[in-house]
Structure 1
Amino acid sequence: MKGRLPTTHFVKSKCALAITAFFTASVLSASALAFVPLSQDQAQDNSSTVSKSYSASDKAVSIAKETIIVDGHIDVPYRVKNQWVDVTKATDDGDFDYPRAVKGGLNAPFMSIYVPASLDNSPESTQLAHLLIDSVEAIVARAPDKFAIAKSPSDVKAHFKKGIISLPLGMENGSPIQGNLDNLKDFHERGIRYITLAHSQSNHISDSSYDLRRQWKGLSPFGKQLVSEMNNIGIMLDISHVSDDAFYQVVELTHVPVIASHSSLRRFTPGFERNMNDDMIKKLGDNGGVIMINFGSSFVSKEAGQWRTGLTNARKALIKAEGEDSPKLEDFEAQYRKKVPYPYSTLDEVLDHIDHVVKLIGVDHVGIGSDYDGVGDSLPIGLKDVSSFPNLVQGLLDRDYSRADIEKILSGNLLRVWQQVEDYAETH
């Protein structure tokens, strides 16, 4: 459909690469839960059961337009780095641009300053982070009547009143800090308001949920120091991507609530450590934090994870049979999808994640972290791009959420945590 990236993009997306690495490692690890790949018939059965179409009522559209919507994680900066496009105007690919954001009511998407784990422990990681911040500033410079950098909850609220879309900044992967707290201060001055401590590999701060090598058994000594410094300077701690041990250490050390900027629930994806289990969610609730639900199908349903495991195993079998130079590897995923259709999750399944958080710890601790432009062609039916937020609102209405609670999920909870972090920093 128009506005979506081609199928092959999913192979190159950052989340797909990390997920593939995780499931490949899981298959090789005796301690990991092995997933059984979907058969072609199973995938087709799944596809036939999720053909439901979604539409939003006038009430849902009004709520989306009249409410601040904060999305905890959108990968526009890295998208435009890979292939420049002017998101201040309508675009033919990707998940985000100005017209679609306006249509969906999205007005405060955190721009992900994503630094690949391959650049860890190198000056290039710090350089890339600054360049990606530059790219967000360039978006604002091209269209100051449409966008503005937001460095505080008050900025978001002021921009909303003016009809301008806020672009707050979150750093995905703490690698650019390089163990130097002066870098932390520099990034804070430039607008970074949360840091995802690690990405797909253990770094100098924290172990990663994707990396079976747990060199720190949680946080490094510098990572423990960084928790305190981030509290003091006013940068939210993002525990998406970190190992379970690192999560528990963060919530013990922090003096303010933390966020999971783009994570979903392990209850629905058994064995997938990148998501949070029920005990972690309860600890997050005790901490006062917020889990922001990731829309990527592999984060939402176990079937999508099983499909990727099947893809990985099929690719390995081809390499074993024909070698690394096989021409069939060039469009391998596209051909595999023809034989075994991808089992997209649905809006209803995303809502199941929200419902479960509310059941466990209450409506004050859940938000939205879509990962648009970061998960490639894996988005759920009903939530294919940023214009789809009224569908989400409609789903919440259909499940009898009040308008007040919907507003908490769309932005109120994250803005509360952000303000608490700022208030603490002002006194320390």
Structure 2
Amino acid sequence: MELKNKITQTLTLTGIALFTSLLTSYSYAIEVSDKAHKLAQENIIVDTHIDVPYRLNDKWEDVTKATQGGDFDYTRAKKGGLNAPFMSIYIPATLDNSPQSTALADKLIDYMEAIVGRAPNKFAIAKSVDDVKQQFKKGLISLPLGMENGSPIQGDLANLKHFYDRGIRYITLAHSQSNHISDSSYDLRRQWKGLSPFGKDLIKEMNNLGIMVDISHVSDAAFYQAIKLTKTPVIASHSSLRQFTPGFERNMDNKMIKALGKNGGVIQINFGSTFVTKRANAWSKKRSAEQKAVEEKFGKDSEQYKNFRKSFAEKNPLPFASLDSVLDHIDHVVKLIGIDHVGIGSDYDGVGDSLPTDLKDVSTYPNLIQGLLNRGYSDQDIIKILNGNLLRVWQINEDYAAKH
């Protein structure tokens, strides 16, 4: 009745345009069964990309307790069943080719160790598949680490070993700009036409150490070169599908997904609305273009530039994706290459307020599970999506390193 009244009032007062906006923003809560909650609580849930470290670098919050901000804290993680979130050691591309990138990576890892130090009864750093499994049995939330942007390696394989020793278990080769390792999907400059000579050597050494190669963010050419060079399965730690966002190179197209399947790898689906639907992606491109125009006209220090995003969002509300939109991406991967190659890479704390309805923070994994149940996925298949596929790839990387 409440929704009906809102619709009637909207139509009467403001017409069809605002009615469409209301439908877009209205959150239709999914009804979650006891079975979905049980699957969430009784199984490991691996999410390969959560940006807590950089969030805490901007503004420290004690995530060992409930927090007002962000998408992650201990209370919400326990509610959602999340127990193996890869903490993203994110390094902005603006720090590429500077010692600050390496220093920041160490600082963000320090933050994660500080969280464990604050609450060793709640969290533990995880450096192996076995760590995750043993910590799950103890009721702890594992904190494996992934590095988003290989900039801190600085062209020195000794740095790679340093970060391996500190717990890094995947590296996203580049971020928003071409770096000394790889070209980026976001950067029109393709200085290496894929991977740099050092990048090719780096992949070999990552294999030897047991660090998973993450091809999210890289250019298509870099992806194919990485697939050809690697001796182990790769991951896309937080990517979605170009099928639903045509022209958005940051996502993977069908040919790439099939190559990933042949490699034995796994794509971890990004939840961000702009990664998931064509409409939200178009909104993001429009915002970027208008923001660039404001920057060129008024400069980055201007009030117009500083207030641009807030003003744009007020005039152009983001058309949020839905839980069904995310499920469509999972379905598509399964149809193309099978159930063994898809998982979760939400990008919580990394995509701002663009998260879909029913997937707004780490308490909502049961919603995703219920959606999978509603689409006919078996318990066994859901468990593969929650943890089995990623842990398989991680274990293969560990096993290869043990022999080399």
Q: TM-score range by the shorter chain?
A: over 0.9
Tell me if structure 2 keeps the 8 A contact 1:44–1:341. Answer: no
CA distance in 2, matches of 1:121, 1:114: 15
How far, CA to CA, are the matches of 2:299 and 2:221 in structure 1?
Answer: 39
Selected match of 1:350 from 306, 326, 341? 326
Could you list the per-position Cα deviations for residues 179-223 of structure 1 after superposition, in whole angstroms to 9, with x for gaps in the alignment? Answer: 111111111111000000000000110000000100000000010
Structure 1 residues 329 and 262: CA distance shift in structure 2, 3 A: same
- Distance, in Å, in 2 between the alignment partners of 1:318 and 1:287 is 44
CA displacement at 1:306 relative to structure 2? 1.2
Separation (CA, whole Å) in 2 of partners of 1:155 and 1:224: 30
Distance 1:157 1:302, change over 3 A: same
Structure 2: distance between partners of 1:179 and 1:275? 27
Which residue matches 1:361? 337
Q: Give the alignment partner of residue 84 of structure 1, picking from 39, 60, 64.
A: 60
Pairing partner for 2:118 from 142, 145, 155? 142
Q: Distance in 2 between matches of 1:94 and 1:179?
A: 34
User: Quick one: which of 16, 20, 45 aligns to 1:45?
Assistant: 20
Q: Distance in 2 between matches of 1:292 and 1:145?
A: 29
- CA distance in 1: counterparts of 2:208 and 2:179, whole angstroms: 22
Within a 5 Å distance, the mapping from 1:4-403 to structure 2 comes to: 45=20, 47-49=22-24, 51=26, 52-316=28-292, 327-403=303-379
Quick check: 2:239–2:270 contact (8 Å CA) kept in 1?
yes
Structure showing greater relative contact order (alpha-carbon pairs closer than 8 Å, 6 or more residues apart): 1
Match of 2:4 in 1: none
Q: Give the aligned CA root-mean-square deviation in angstroms.
A: 1.7
> How far apart are 1:308 and its partner, in Å?
1.9
Counterpart Cα distance in 2 of 1:322 and 1:230? 44
In structure 1, the residue corresponding to 2:109 is in which secondary structure? helix
Inter-partner Cα distance in structure 2 for 1:217 and 1:320: 29
SS at match of 1:101: helix
Task: State, as a whole percentage, how many aligned pairs show the same letter.
Answer: 69
Partner of 1:13: none
Distance of 1:340 and 1:350 partners within structure 2: 23
Q: Post-superposition shift, 1:405?
A: 0.2
Structure 1 residues 326 and 140 mapped into 2: Cα distance closer, same or farther (>3 Å)? Answer: closer
With normalisation by structure 2, the TM-score equals 0.93
Query: What code does the residue aligned with 1:373 have?
Result: D
CA distance in 1, matches of 2:166, 2:177: 26
What is the CA distance between 1:312 and its match in structure 2? 3.1
1:50·1:346 contact (CA, 8 Å) conserved in 2?
Answer: no
Superposed displacement of residue 298, structure 1? 0.7
Residue ranges of structure 1 left out of the alignment (5+ in a row): 1-39
User: Alpha carbons of 1:322 and 1:250: their partners in 2 closer, same or farther (altered >3 Å)?
Assistant: closer
Cα drift, residue 316 of structure 1: 4.9
Count of aligned pairs = 389
Q: Distance in 1 between matches of 2:283 and 2:45?
A: 32
In the alignment, which residue of structure 1 is the partner of 2:11?
Answer: none
Structure 2's unaligned 5+ residue stretches are 1-14
Measure, in 2, the Cα distance between the counterparts of 1:409 and 1:86. 30
- Native 8 Å contact 1:77 1:136 kept in 2: yes
Are the structure 2 counterparts of residues 96 and 319 from structure 1 closer, same or farther at C-alpha, using a change threshold of 3 Å? closer
**Displacement of 1:99:** 0.3
Q: Aligned partners of 1:377, 1:338: CA distance in 2, in Å?
A: 13
SS at match of 1:55: coil
Aligned to 1:261, the other structure's residue is in SS state strand
Q: 1:46 to 1:424 in 2, by over 3 A?
A: farther
Question: Structure 1 length as normaliser, TM-score?
Answer: 0.88
SS of corresponding position for 2:206? helix
Residue by residue over 1:151-204, the C-alpha shift from the partner in whole angstroms, topping out at 9 and shown as x without a partner, is 001000001011000000000000101111111111111100000000000011
